[in-house]
Amino acid sequence: MNPCALLSLILTPFVLNATVKDTLPLTVHYYTETARPANGIKKTFPYDIDLQDTAGKVINSNLLFKNKKSKPTILLFWLTTCYPCRMELEAIQQAYPTWKKEVDFRMIAISTDFKDRFSQFTERVRQSNWSFEVYHDKNREFRYVMPGELNGLPQLFVLDAAGNITYHKRRYRPGDENELFEHLKKMN
């Protein structure tokens, strides 16, 4: 049986019992790809990816990372709809002031949400009041330059002064932030 016929059989009892307003067409969201072709994106640090801050100002990663190569940089990729992402960001936020007293590093959280969730991104950043830099990967291009195409969030990368990945972690378990901090201490 083809998938459409199967879906029709599953939904028929619900449609028969539905009111007229319940049978109106479903709203379908289509996402338009705004990323450049993968072969058109610079895949080496500092990349060339447009990032957007909460005010809507766009800065290219090439400029953002320029002259910042003297210390380790944490890149944490997240989504507004991702609960483990929220947990990791909150855990790092709690530890961040203490970490900064002991280790010189840069922390940048980059949302990979679709463009239509920009308002949710800005609201999450406003509510969370994070102490570190936060940007939105407006065209979702970092997935073309990071190992594993950012499959499975949150994902965290630590880059050394030259932009080499020295640490990579996918997903979050409570306590992972302690392992991250130990790695940062070894880099200084």
Task: Report pLDDT digits (tens) over 1-15.
Answer: 554 454 454 544 444
pLDDT of residue 7: 46
Q: How many distinct structural domains can be found in the chain?
A: 1
SS3 113: coil
pLDDT of residue 63: 93
CATH code, domain with 56: 3.40.30.10
Nearest to 188 by CA among 95, 99, 109, 64: 99
Please, are residues 162 and 72 in contact by the beta-carbon 8 Å criterion?
no
Residue 111: CB atoms within 10 Å: 28
Rounded Cα distance, 36 and 138, in Å: 12
**Taking CA 125 as the corner, what is the angle to CA 52 and CA 108, rounded to the nearest 5 degrees?**
60
Domain that holds residue 35: 3-187
Per-residue pLDDT tens digits for 89-117:
999 999 999 999 999 999 999 999 999 99
Residues of the chain with pLDDT under 50: 3-4, 6-7, 9, 11-16, 18, 20
Please, are residues 165 and 159 in contact by the beta-carbon 8 Å criterion?
yes
Please, are residues 160 and 72 in contact by the beta-carbon 8 Å criterion?
yes
